[in-house]
Structure 1
Amino acid sequence: MEGASAREQSLAGAGSANPSTAISISENPAGLVDIGRQFTGDVSIFMPWRGYDASGTMLTAPGGVDSYRNAFVIPALGYSQPLTADSAFGFAMVGNGGMNTTFSGGIANPACGMYGLPTQGVFCGGRAGVDLNQALIYGGYAQRFGNVSFGIAPVMSVQIFSAYGLGAFSAFGLSSNPMYVTDHSPAYSVGGGLRAGMLYHVAPDLSLSVQGSTPIWSTKFQNYSGLFAGGGSFDIPATIGGGVSYKIMPTLAMMVDYKHIFYSLSPAIGNAMSPIYPGTMGAPNGPGFGWRDVDIIAVGFEWNYSDRLTLRTGYSYSTQPVTAQNVMFNILAPGVVTSHIGAGFGYAVNQNSSVDFSLLYSPRVHVSGQEYLPGFGYNPYSNISIWLEELEVTLGYTYRWDRPPVVVAKY
């Protein structure tokens, strides 16, 4: 997610050094001391368009195939409460991310009959796809020391996952637990970790931030212990990052953020797709989606146009997590977009209430590679091109019981 709130998304994920809402605890809990007592609630309509084009394949259904179900609701809530002039606590619940693909079971696949598999579909198992939802719940505390504040926020995760139509990977002895690869009811996982951050007001017009999180160590998806490496393990990756906010003019702030996501340290996400031999899927070092770590840079601008209206825009770019060698598995999770373009506004209804709106668009990106045939290797006559395009619309509401105090650097 390029930010959990409407404000952060309109800035394309920038703003960790310039907190404004209680939801910002999910990025940098140190900002709690700067935002006063408030409640924030946001709801996003997330619309991903995804699919693939394949030719010369011997296992994967050929042709141009699009996933359906293209709209999802993602909520976010936050509350902050000052304790003293220099301390505060808060909590937030945000959608961290996820992935859904749903490919029709009626897709013709000539390979199914050749391999003796009874149904059609992308991988000869009928309707195919995955559904992963991640929600994070934070409870945080921040303390200010002069012009520097520190924050810490233990985090609990809830994940829900299901997979269906992956019959080809539960056949031929490829899995260490073939009964738990596909077509089970949704599996639940809970986990915990820690997020911490620092916010340094260098001068009235300049702020710096550093923040990061541990992995969120999670219980296993038992119903899919034969699919994910480590017997169904799916930890949420650690992150580290920082930001700067500078007021170019009294009414115009520029924000720049950097983030690194450690996908490679979660075996189910980071392990390479190949090789796949009998008994490897679900094994401790079994195949995964082959995602590389990504580096993200975001730049955002916020202009206080008037006492009531604030205009925002932003752009972020991330390196590509999916490589050509891992394209076939990532038909199920084609997270290949690299650019995010955000725009939005905030409007103060009165002294206490405000609304925020954002549009976040990710242009279509393709990644291509060869099909992998378990036990045999890559098919040199094949080409699979996966693609993703996204649009997210978010509406937020914030109620402030008191206006946050002006932060004066104490030297």
Structure 2
Amino acid sequence: MKAYFLKLCFLLFATAAFSQAGHIMQGVGAVNMSMGGAATGQPLDISGAIQWNPASLSTFDEKTIKFDLGLFFSSPELSSTVPEFDSTGAPTGNFFSGTTEDDRGVSPLPALAMVWGKEGSRHTFGASAFGISGFGVTFPESTTNPINMPQNMGGFGRVESDYSLLQLGFTYAYELSDKFSVGIQPTFNYASLKLIPNPTANPSPTAGYPSADKSTAFGFGAQFGLFYDSGNGFSAGASYKTKQSFGDFTLENVYLDSSTGENKFKIDYPAMWSLGLGYSVGQFDIAADYRYVQYDKASGFSAVGWTPTFSVAGFGWKNISIVSAGIQFKGIDRLPLRLGYTYSGNPIESDVAFFSVPATAVIKNAFQLGLSYEISDRWAIDGVYHMGFSGEATSGPLLNPQFISNFPPYGAIPGSEVSYDMTTSMIMVGASYKFLN
């Protein structure tokens, strides 16, 4: 029974995260999400503090437990265009275009955190289980969209991906003085990956790319933080989350002709710097964060292009900046209201957009509206509504490794295009309980 319960917990948390800033969740829990994810210098709840700055956990003096659960909806669209050729191989001047809509449906998004603090103590401890990263699409096979044509007709057929990352964190914060705190958080990670078709495997000359069932990998890393509280409303924080280094996914492949094979692929979670400012005055709390995400040093994202055997080497994502901001109004008794905004750069450059078809969850602008209701000194419930927009479609040429000699470096097909964009929405609710003395 115990083993079954642990497996169930892994399944719940590790199949839940579908991200918006590349493959990084913009926030954790209803309170932090409603502030646009800003918490590095303004910790309003324990989940946001643990996720973005372990040192800020020192601001919590009670033993508190918090659980959040969201329902996440996304609506990606995948479009492609290819030139048509006559029987001699000459272009006709006509083009074949189509669009496929994702039919994935709703995904759960949970977060669990607990903090042990005590008034007058310089030590604060925390533990958490967060779904912090993921991507996933389900584009059905189609005869009206070139990229989703059956593989025996030159397309990829059904495109399905499912990547998720569960992170367990154990946090320690220490108050150096009444104003300064430091924090450290070792992190342990569990990730799963499913790819249909699997472009990281070698294609068969007769059966194309195989399908790979779900595989898992474990990783580890850490986060370090500094926090300053002036005592007169101004606060600031900084943190560094190291690259979360993973072992290889071992992907078991099945080709269209029922032959089988195996390949390995590695995806790390990128290192990230966060800087945050906070200001509290009267009935208002204001927060702003800046993050810098280093995809160029993360396996699976730093490499780009084709291998000599025509498998895909990696996504080829560039480093990005993320800006989060939020404001909380506390003028209504026991009912704080919050507005949040998140801006994210796009890590996908147009010349390699083709490689990221399985990972289209890039949201440029996200808006959040949230509130809490303080039932008593012990209990509070939280809620948030999120809407996200990609801004404009990410697009680039279709690529074919057989065209590299004529169209280096990736073999862009002349006159072709692949593009994808999406919107996201989410409703999340949470509850927290303080163990008062």
Cα deviation, residue 287, structure 1: 2.3
AA aligned to 1:326 is V
**How far, CA to CA, are the matches of 2:214 and 2:200 in structure 1?**
20
Q: Is the 8 A contact 1:225 1:233 kept in 2?
A: no
Match of 1:34 in 2: 59
Match of 2:219 in 1: 191
**How far, CA to CA, are the matches of 2:251 and 2:288 in structure 1?**
42
Cα deviation, residue 137, structure 1: 0.6
Deviations 1:192-229 (A, max 9, x none): 10011111012320000001111111111011699xxx
**How far, CA to CA, are the matches of 1:111 and 1:329 in structure 2?**
12
Matching residue within 108, 111, 126 for 1:90: 126
Match of 2:101 in 1: 66
Q: Residues 173 and 22 of structure 1: is their aligned pair in 2 closer, same or farther, counting only changes over 3 Å?
A: farther
Match of 1:317 in 2: 343
Match of 2:272 in 1: 239
Matching residue within 116, 124, 149 for 1:81: 116
Q: Is the 8 A contact 2:68 2:430 kept in 1?
A: yes
**How far, CA to CA, are the matches of 1:341 and 1:122 in structure 2?**
36
AA aligned to 2:212 is H
Matching residue within 290, 307, 330 for 1:258: 290
AA aligned to 1:358 is V
Q: Residues 300 and 224 of structure 1: is their aligned pair in 2 closer, same or farther, counting only changes over 3 Å?
A: farther
AA aligned to 2:309 is G
Residue 12 in 1 paired to residue 36 in 2? yes
Cα deviation, residue 105, structure 1: 2.8
Cα deviation, residue 261, structure 1: 1.0
Matching residue within 131, 137, 161 for 2:162: 131
Q: Is the 8 A contact 1:259 1:297 kept in 2?
A: yes
Q: Unaligned stretches of 5+ in structure 2? A: 1-24, 85-95, 255-262, 404-410
Match of 1:409 in 2: none
Q: Is the 8 A contact 1:225 1:232 kept in 2?
A: no
Q: Residues 86 and 55 of structure 1: is their aligned pair in 2 closer, same or farther, counting only changes over 3 Å?
A: same
Q: Unaligned stretches of 5+ in structure 1? A: 404-411
Deviations 1:85-117 (A, max 9, x none): 21111101111120111111344567999xx95
Residue 387 in 1 paired to residue 421 in 2? yes
Count of residues paired in the alignment: 383
Cα deviation, residue 185, structure 1: 2.4
Match of 2:299 in 1: 267
**How far, CA to CA, are the matches of 2:147 and 2:219 in structure 1?**
40
**How far, CA to CA, are the matches of 1:100 and 1:57 in structure 2?**
29
Match of 1:202 in 2: 230
Match of 2:396 in 1: 369
**How far, CA to CA, are the matches of 2:435 and 2:265 in structure 1?**
45
TM-score (ref. length: structure 1)? 0.86
**How far, CA to CA, are the matches of 2:58 and 2:97 in structure 1?**
55
Cα deviation, residue 8, structure 1: 0.9
Q: Residues 4 and 106 of structure 1: is their aligned pair in 2 closer, same or farther, counting only changes over 3 Å?
A: same
AA aligned to 2:244 is I
Match of 1:165 in 2: 197
Deviations 1:355-390 (A, max 9, x none): 111112112431121111112111121122211211
Q: Is the 8 A contact 1:51 1:331 kept in 2?
A: no
AA aligned to 2:105 is N
Q: What is the aligned-residue identity percentage?
A: 23
TM-score (ref. length: structure 2)? 0.81
**How far, CA to CA, are the matches of 1:357 and 1:255 in structure 2?**
18
AA aligned to 2:367 is I
Aligned pairs (5 A) from 1:326-337: 326-337=352-363
Match of 2:140 in 1: 104
AA aligned to 1:128 is V
AA aligned to 1:56 is V
Give the match's secondary structure for 2:422: strand
Give the match's secondary structure for 1:7: helix
Give the match's secondary structure for 1:33: helix
**How far, CA to CA, are the matches of 2:314 and 2:296 in structure 1?**
10
**How far, CA to CA, are the matches of 1:19 and 1:109 in structure 2?**
47
Give the match's secondary structure for 2:300: helix
**How far, CA to CA, are the matches of 1:167 and 1:75 in structure 2?**
30
Cα deviation, residue 302, structure 1: 0.8
What RMSD over aligned residues (CA atoms) do the two structures have, in Å?
2.8
Cα deviation, residue 303, structure 1: 0.8
